[in-house]
Amino acid sequence: MDLTFQAGDLTAQAVPDAEAEALQPLLERCEDFHQLAYGRPALADQARRIPAERPPGLTPGQGHLFALKTAAGDVVGLLEALRDFPAPGEWYLGILLLAPEVRGQGRGEAVVRAYEGHVRAQGGRLLRLAVLEQNEAAHRFWTRMGFQPEKWVGPLEQGLKHNRLLRMTQTLG
């Protein structure tokens, strides 16, 4: 499997689960997201927890984590997803997070489009994700990217909050 892909002016570079803590500074810069999702700032070991919070029973290589880097090598985003979950050919996008200073510049769309191509090249036929009910900007973004509502899930306990999430899907042509 290819461990990198290009997304506009960003490069998505695979981060081994054992090195997930390298993404901690990014998570701390994204306090707005953590307040919205968890009702608190990122924990001191939040990045290290990303692989540990995946569903049980995954096989090695099913979960993957990408650092989104500028040409200068600065980490300005992350993407975390699961391959063949919950079924073969279906991929679950768990996190797409961009640093506040690079949002609103078309980079999110570039990352999604490039990732769709990456998934297709790996045999994926469907992308699935879940959006926080209170994250209206994310609802608009994912709808604009072609994702369709599937069903509401929750409320689920996340940090200090109990969130409802809208599961959304997109069939890859």
Per residue in 44-53, pLDDT (tens digit) is: 999 999 999 9
Does 94 fall in a domain?
yes
**103-132 as b/e: b if 16+ CB within 10 A:** beeebbebbbebbbebbeeeebeebbbbbb
Does 158 fall in a domain?
no
Does 119 fall in a domain?
yes
User: CA–CA separation, 173 vs 161, rounded Å?
Assistant: 36
State the pTM of this model: 0.91
Mean pLDDT within 121-150: 95
Does 79 fall in a domain?
yes
- Percent of the chain's residues with pLDDT above 70: 98
Q: How confident is the model at residue 85 (pLDDT cuts 50, 70, 90)?
A: very high
Does 48 fall in a domain?
yes
- 128 within 8 A of 92, measured Cβ to Cβ: yes
Mean pLDDT within 11-23: 95
Does 147 fall in a domain?
no
Range of the domain at 9: 4-131
Backbone angles phi, psi at 138, to 5 degrees: -65, -40
Q: How confident is the model at residue 123 (pLDDT cuts 50, 70, 90)?
A: very high
Q: Residue 60: its pLDDT value, please?
A: 86
CATH number at residue 25: 3.40.630.30
How many distinct structural domains can be found in the chain?
1
User: 173 or 131, which is more confident?
Assistant: 131
- Is residue 1 pLDDT above 50, yes or no? no
Does 102 fall in a domain?
yes
- 114 within 8 A of 8, measured Cβ to Cβ: yes
Does 159 fall in a domain?
no
Q: Residue 3: its pLDDT value, please?
A: 64
130-134, 161-165, 168-172: lowest mean pLDDT where?
A: 161-165
Q: Residue 30: its pLDDT value, please?
A: 95
